[in-house]
Amino acid sequence: MVKVVNKILIQNFSLNYSDGTESLHEITLQIPANAIMVFFGPAGGGKSSLLRAINRLNDLADVISISGEILLADENGNYLNIYDKKVDVIELRRRVGMVFARPIVLPLTIRGNLTYPLELKGEKNKDILMTSVERSLRQAALWDEVKDRLDTSATALSGGQQQRLCLARSLMLEPEVILLDEPTSGLDPISTSKVEATLQDLKQRYTIVLVPQSIQQAARMADYAAFFLQGELIEFAPENALFINPKDGRTKDYVEGRFG
Amino acid sequence: MPKEIEKSAHSSSSVSRNRIQRAGFLLLLGIALFTVIPIFLIIGVVVIRGFQTLTPEFIFGFPYNGMKSGGIWPAIVGTIYLVLGTALFSVPIGVAAAIYLSEYAPVNRVTQIIRIAIITLAGIPSVVYGLFGLGLFVITLKFGTSIIAGALTLAIMNLPVIISTSEEALRTVPHSFRVTSISLGATKWQTIHRIVLPQAQSGILTGVILGLERAAGETAPILFTVAAFYLPQLPRSPFDQTMALPYHLYVISTQVPGMPEGIQYGTALVLLILVLGMNLFATVIRSRARARRQW
């Protein structure tokens, strides 16, 4: 097996919405495998748009134009252009999972939420489903809290539990990449630290792209960080470099709290 | 004490303001109550004058003696057949159209035309549907005066109700459920089938029942397409004519001299019970679904 260094290559990627808001301009960026990549910057900078471009969830929005490429590596190091016409979007979304800012549990039981993505694939074997349920709940640090009530409604869980359930649900398919759009925005500090610890564990197996809820979270979590402003990638650096010693004046101003 | 004077002046003006508020409130309440009066009068009069007629012989019996004696069983059965036939045609088509409009339809000319057609369909007087059914189903398609012609006519009249209530029910399902489902690798149809439809189910069912309730009570669309003045037996095939409650009520109220009042009110009461019963059923479904809803 080849060791894949960069899981995702974004090359001169531009995107425009039909209403003219929040577009992306000529983004070029490498997302390393088995690490946490943080996209940060003020609202409207294009972080979420780029995130949603990686699993083509933008297909559901009113996008009028896309140019450039986003390439996703498989385990053999072969890159797939995800905007190629021949790409199976359903398969892509199984390889690239997503967790949203608001925990959106489906109106099903806890177990029903978790097995949903596997059932869509046609998996019916109860043992396989149950094994995956336990594995992903453990990975999301939720197993002990819900193991005795898997068949109760998922909406009865607390906000923090719901968000970890959403994370567990995205882990059911064992995706290669997990995209997280402010996954802790509605959570209390304890739940937030649980989710953060989970993500730190998960990066051994997965490539994680995180839009953090704050600069502090960005600094805590980043193995790599990219600063976005008004649809442009301003700066990109490993670990704490952007927070300690930014090169661009705009990054410095934002990190030091002069705007945003 | 200037302070006290000020205070009393203030309170006296607030008292008169309160009085005006109160009068206005009572006026509005009175007007609102006024709208309740007709429904109590209608139900009250029909129940008081009709309930003595409601015997098993009246409900399950055949009319005889020029319909001045006996029961209304053939009309009850006919109305049930018509409602079932209407449901058979209008529910699948109406729900499918609603799914298309809510989930698939792009914003373009064709969609606009479909929407305008549905709105227009809803505004057409029922007697025009009756004549249309006569022309298309009875004469051109040679179904004759029959249950199938009547049910098809009622179904077309019913479509706008079913489509618009079903579309509304589908639209109330949060968009975030759809995005989440798609993000988990679902196709659009899997999302609709597994998430959206089960959540919209009770709303759709409520709309269907309310539509069928209207179909059960209509006279004009069945007048030329299915309704029989008097039949000595129950219909045996979809191509038979049948008696039906609303038309029977019209006949015994205006076309038969010397009709006993009890039979007229009894028939009206049966029709009311049928229609209000369906209404009540729809309300129960709706409130149960609301209690169960988690979003």
ipTM value of the model?
0.87
CATH number, span B71-292: 1.10.3720.10
CA angle, B60 as apex, B56 and B63 as ends, to 5°? Answer: 110
Q: Helix, strand, coil proportions of chain B in percent (round to 5)?
A: 80, 0, 20
CB neighbour class for A127 (10 Å; exposed up to 12, middle 13-18, buried from 19): exposed
Does B181 lie at the interface with A, CB-CB under 8 angstroms?
yes
Burial label for B214, CB within 10 Å (0-12, 13-18, 19+), is middle
Cβ of residue A102 closer than 8 Å to a chain B Cβ: yes
A188 — pLDDT class (breaks 50, 70, 90): confident
Distance, in angstroms, between B279 CA and closest chain A CA?
A: 28
Sequence spans of domains, chain A: 6-102+178-255
Question: A103 CA to chain B: closest CA distance, Å?
Answer: 10
Q: Kindly indicate the confidence band of residue A1, based on its pLDDT and cuts at 50, 70 and 90.
A: very low
Among chain A residues, CA nearest to B200: A107
B66: alpha, beta or left? (left if phi > 0; alpha if psi -120 to 50)? left
What six digits make up the tokens of A139?
A: 């990975």
Contact with chain B for residue A121, Cβ under 8 A? yes
Triad B34, B36, B39: Cα angle to 5°: 130
User: What is the tens place of the pLDDT at every residue in A125-163?
Assistant: 999 999 999 999 998 888 999 999 999 999 889 888 999
Q: What is d(CA B121, CA B161) in angstroms, rounded to the nearest whole number?
A: 10
Look at A98 and B182 and tell me if their CB atoms are within 8 Å.
Answer: no
- Of A57, A91, A155, nearest to B183 by CB-CB distance is A57
Residue B260 to residue B46: CA distance in whole angstroms: 14
Alpha carbon distance A205, A225 (integer Å):
19
Q: Do A93 and B183 touch (CB under 8 A)?
A: yes
Q: Which two tokens stand for residue B70?
A: 């006996």
Residue burial B236-268, b: 16+ Cβ < 10 Å; e: rest: eebebbbbbbbbbbbbbeeeeeebeeebbbbbb
Confidence bin at B1 (pLDDT 50/70/90): very low
How long, in residues, is chain A? 260
> Which residue in the block uniquely carries the two structure tokens 């998960």?
A202
Quick check: B185 and A102 CB within 8 A?
no
Contact criterion met (CB below 8 Å) for B289 and B203: yes
B217's tokens: 């009570």
Summarize pLDDT for B184-205 with one digit per residue, the tens.
Answer: 999 999 999 999 999 999 899 9
Return d(Cα A114, Cα A105) in angstroms, integer.
10
Q: Average pLDDT, whole number, for chain A?
A: 89
Flag whether residue B184 sits within 8 Å of chain A, measured between CB atoms: yes
B295 interfaces chain A, CB cutoff of 8 Å: yes
Does the CB of B187 have a partner CB in chain A at under 8 Å? yes
CA distance B101 to chain A (A): 16
- CA distances (Å), origin B198, targets A80, A106, A241, B193: 36, 12, 50, 7
A31: pLDDT strictly greater than 90: yes
Asked if B181's CB is within 8 angstroms of A106's CB, the reply is yes
Q: Tell me whether strands A79-81 and A63-73 are parallel, antiparallel or unpaired.
A: antiparallel
Q: List Cβ neighbours of B102 (8 Å cut-off, separation of 6 or more).
A: B166, B167, B170, B171
Q: Is A69 helix (H, G, I), strand (E, B) or coil?
A: strand
Cα angle value B231/B80/B60 (rounded, 5°)? 60
Q: How many CB atoms lie within 10 A of CB A3?
A: 8
B120-149: pLDDT as tens digits? 999 999 999 999 999 999 999 999 999 999
Q: Name the least confident of A65-79, A111-125, A197-211, A239-253.
A: A239-253
**Measured between alpha carbons, how far is A41 from A97 in angstroms, rounded to an integer?**
22
Distance from CA of residue A27 to its chain's centroid?
18
CATH architecture of A6-102+178-255: 3-Layer(aba) Sandwich (3.40)
- Checking B104-107 for CB contacts under 8 A at 24+ apart, the result is B104/B188
CA-closest candidate to residue A24, choices A51, A56, A61: A51
pLDDT at A59: 83
pLDDT of residue A2: 52
